[in-house]
């Protein structure tokens, strides 16, 4: 009797399983599309067709150039198909085709792409791996947001049929992060790089040294991080932190896969406090407000020391640019007058003023960067230093000095636009906000979006010399990840559109509609943000200390 009941139970289970399996076989897969196409930055040309391409679990991905493997793997991950579906043996009939042109298509330039989605096939075509990568990011944004949740749901994504022809307005689409004032670490940096990639941004300027912390390991001078890496702007007693060379290599590789070039900044001859804490023998003093702010640029040993640092830095970053700061030296260089080595240098080189000493230093260090095979980048103070415009990129940041931009252009420098208003993301973004900088204005979402076409207080003339635009997150008052996200999102998306989309194709009302979908994406990805549509919903995370 007992035995019989076991058999009965077993056969009931078997029956249930059979019903379940046969049920699965007959229920068609459900494919979902996103409700609307909400791509940021807005593509230059887009025609929406009828129907959709269903991305089955069996969809094959094929590519024609070995360097496209990362693009294929990203795509497989985004659309939830196995890497086993990827084939490097090129098949133009595959479900999803990634293709670098053998002959350049003039319209597409270096980073443009076409994306054709029909009911039967998806084809991305570009002149470069970067272009294909941006086509893949466009697909990522066309997917229903629930796919990003990756929570085991068994619905599959579909893409609306569309034809897109796209290419960026600017080649430099940048974001700068100051990790000296507060240190955020590898995970946050990589998360930011991934969001930059989603928004087709391609330059990460990493401000690694300044007054409150030295964040890059230099093997020849270990105290830079052992001593100079401690503390942050909130307190010198805080742990602070730094990146080992190994970690930097990992971040560089993470960025490379996303077509992002990293520009490291070693700030000199000012903003050197953390370095001077570690190696006081190279300090050129400062003021009460900014103690030990400068290097002693009269000493020959200082040039060897900084050249060694730049050499190790160069070896870590394969991109073409090294940023050497050059900003705000006049803040705290008065002690230079009293330093015998600086007096001797002035005598020897016939330098009449401290400013001439500073420009002498800039020229020498730019020469070092050149000898290391890199191009110098510097803040807009360096415009007057007599540097070679062919070998220098200038970042125009002093929005209250448009003459500095005009001068840079007149002197034939290549320029990146990052005026404090609207590009400094430590400025507040709403009139009710209290934490963060305000001057005669602030960095509203609309201000960022309209830049550089409708700047409120200055006119940026169109010029081939303008390489692009960059946002800068200075972090004196950004002490945690919550404030980090709040200051960056959604302004990063507005900046991305300013960088990528031609003025004729920008539309503030339409952007705001698309942004609503992106805010849902931020929720899914666990990214904090300021809700520009409902400011009270996301109150400003306060910075706890008054200084
Ligand atoms: C700067 O904001 N000191 C470049």
The structure tokens listed for 422 are: 């609207």
- Return all residues near 530 (Cβ < 8 A) that are at least 6 apart: 429, 430, 486, 487, 489, 490, 538, 540
pLDDT above 70: residue 335: yes
Q: Could you report the per-residue pLDDT of 405-455, keeping only the tens digit for each?
A: 999 999 999 999 999 999 999 999 999 998 888 887 899 999 999 999 976
CA distances from 525 to 49, 237, 361, 519 (A): 30, 33, 46, 10
pLDDT of residue 457: 59
| pLDDT band at 469; cut points 50, 70, 90 | very high
SS3 140: helix
Ligand 1 atom 1 nearest Cα: 327
Q: Average pLDDT of the chain? A: 92
pLDDT of residue 154: 63
**Top mutation candidate among 397, 401, 427, 443 for ligand 1, by most atoms within 8 Å of CB:** 397
Helix 300-316 × helix 354-371 angle, to 10°: 40
**Residue with the larger pLDDT of the pair 16 and 410:** 410
Is domain 9-166 annotated with CATH 3.30.379.10? yes
Q: Could you report the per-residue pLDDT of 163-173, keeping only the tens digit for each?
A: 999 999 999 99
**Top mutation candidate among 325, 327, 437 for ligand 1, by most atoms within 8 Å of CB:** 327
Ligand 1, atom nearest to 397 Cα: 4
Q: Ligand 1: distance of its center to the CA of 379 in Å?
A: 7
**Top mutation candidate among 293, 328, 416 for ligand 1, by most atoms within 8 Å of CB:** 328
Residues of the chain with pLDDT > 90: what percent? Answer: 85
Q: Ligand 1: distance of its center to the CA of 431 in Å?
A: 23
User: Which CATH code fits 169-185+416-547?
Assistant: 3.20.20.80
Mean pLDDT in residue range 62-73: 98
Mean pLDDT in residue range 38-47: 98
Answer yes or no: is the C-beta of 397 below 6 A from any ligand 1 atom: yes
Q: Ligand 1: distance of its center to the CA of 469 in Å?
A: 15
- Quote the CA–CA distance of 173 and 193 in Å, as a whole number: 12
The structure tokens listed for 424 are: 């400094």
Q: Per DSSP, what are the bridge partners of residue 86?
A: 61
Q: Do domains 169-185+416-547 and 208-374 have the same CATH topology?
A: yes
Answer yes or no: is the C-beta of 396 below 6 A from any ligand 1 atom: no
pLDDT of residue 153: 57
Mean pLDDT in residue range 471-495: 97
What's the CATH class of domain 208-374? alpha beta
pLDDT of residue 20: 46
pLDDT above 70: residue 45: yes
SS3 377: strand
Active-site residues: which are they?
210, 271, 328
pLDDT of residue 306: 98
- Quote the CA–CA distance of 52 and 35 in Å, as a whole number: 12
Q: Where are the domains of the chain?
A: 9-166, 169-185+416-547, 208-374
Asked whether the whole model's pTM tops 0.85, one would answer yes
Ligand 1, atom nearest to 395 Cα: 4
SS3 341: helix
DSSP assignment of 241-300: --B-HHHHHHHHHHHHHTT-EEEEEEEESSS-HHHHHH-GGGEEE--SSSTT-EE-TT-H
Q: Ligand 1: distance of its center to the CA of 488 in Å?
A: 18
pLDDT of residue 462: 77
Ligand 1, atom nearest to 424 Cα: 2
Q: Could you report the per-residue pLDDT of 142-187, keeping only the tens digit for each?
A: 999 877 766 555 678 999 999 999 999 999 999 999 999 999 999 9
pLDDT of residue 23: 45
Q: Ligand 1: distance of its center to the CA of 327 in Å?
A: 6
Mean pLDDT in residue range 281-298: 96
Q: Ligand 1: distance of its center to the CA of 420 in Å?
A: 8
SS3 307: helix
pLDDT of residue 242: 98
pLDDT above 70: residue 269: yes
Residues of the chain with pLDDT > 70: what percent? Answer: 92
Answer yes or no: is the C-beta of 379 below 6 A from any ligand 1 atom: yes
- Return all residues near 24 (Cβ < 8 A) that are at least 6 apart: none
Burial of 84 (0-12, 13-18, 19+ CB in 10 A): exposed
Residue 383 is inside which H or E element, if any? Answer: none
Highest mean pLDDT among 14-18, 429-433, 526-530: 526-530
Ligand 1 atom 3 nearest Cα: 327
Q: Per DSSP, what are the bridge partners of residue 325?
A: 268
């Amino acid at each position: 009797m007992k035995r019989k009941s076991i058999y009965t139970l077993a056969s009931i289970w078997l029956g249930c399983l059979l019903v379940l399996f046969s049920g699965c076989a007959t229920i068609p897969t459900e494919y979902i599309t996103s409700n609307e196409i909400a791509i940021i930055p807005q593509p230059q040309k887009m025609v929406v067709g009828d129907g959709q391409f269903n991305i089955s679990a069996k969809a094959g991905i094929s590519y024609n150039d070995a360097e496209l493997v990362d693009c294929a793997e990203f795509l497989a991950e985004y659309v939830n198909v196995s890497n086993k579906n990827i084939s490097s043996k090129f098949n133009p009939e595959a479900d999803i085709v990634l293709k670098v042109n053998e002959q350049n298509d003039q319209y597409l330039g270096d980073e443009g792409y076409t994306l054709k989605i029909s009911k039967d096939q998806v084809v991305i075509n570009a002149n470069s791996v970067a272009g294909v990568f941006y086509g893949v990011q466009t697909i990522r944004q066309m997917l229903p947001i629930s796919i990003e949740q990756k929570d085991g749901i068994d619905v599959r994504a579909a893409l609306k049929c569309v034809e897109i022809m796209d290419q960026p307005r600017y080649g430099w689409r940048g974001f700068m992060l100051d990790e000296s004032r507060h240190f955020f670490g590898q995970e946050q940096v990589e998360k930011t790089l991934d969001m930059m990639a989603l928004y087709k941004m391609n330059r990460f300027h990493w401000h690694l040294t300044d007054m409150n912390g030295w964040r890059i390991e230099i093997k020849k001078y270990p105290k830079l991080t052992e001593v100079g890496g401690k503390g942050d702007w909130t307190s010198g007693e805080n742990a602070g932190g730094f990146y080992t060379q190994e970690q930097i290599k990992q971040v560089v590789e993470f960025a490379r896969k996303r077509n992002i070039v990293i520009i490291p900044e070693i700030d000199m001859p000012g903003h050197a406090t953390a370095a001077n804490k570690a190696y006081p023998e190279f300090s050129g003093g400062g003021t009460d407000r900014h103690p030990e702010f400068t290097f002693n640029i009269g000493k020959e040993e200082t040039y060897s020391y900084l050249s060694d640092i730049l050499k190790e830095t160069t070896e870590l970053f394969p991109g073409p640019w090294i940023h050497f700061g050059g900003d705000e030296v006049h803040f705290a260089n008065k002690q230079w007058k009293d330093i015998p080595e600086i007096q001797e240098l002035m005598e020897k080189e016939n330098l009449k003023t401290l400013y001439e000493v500073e420009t002498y230093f800039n020229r020498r260090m730019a020469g070092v960067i050149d000898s290391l095979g890199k191009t110098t980048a510097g803040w807009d103070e360096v415009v007057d230093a007599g540097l070679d415009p062919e070998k220098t990129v200038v970042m125009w940041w002093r929005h209250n000095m448009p003459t500095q931009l005009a001068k840079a252009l007149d002197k034939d420098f290549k320029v990146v636009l990052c005026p404090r208003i609207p590009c400094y993301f430590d400025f507040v973004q709403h009139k009710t906000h209290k934490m963060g900088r305000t001057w005669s204005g602030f960095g509203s979402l609309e201000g960022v979006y309209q830049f550089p076409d409708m700047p409120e207080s200055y006119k940026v003339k169109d010029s081939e010399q303008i390489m692009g635009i960059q946002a800068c997150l200075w972090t004196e008052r950004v002490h945690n990840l919550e404030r980090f996200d709040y200051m960056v999102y959604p302004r990063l998306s507005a900046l991305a559109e300013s960088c990528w989309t031609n003025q004729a194709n920008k539309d503030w009302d339409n952007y705001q509609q698309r942004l609503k979908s992106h805010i849902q994406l931020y929720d899914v990805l666990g990214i904090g943000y300021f809700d520009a549509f409902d400011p009270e919903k996301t109150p400003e995370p306060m910075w706890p200390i008054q200084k």
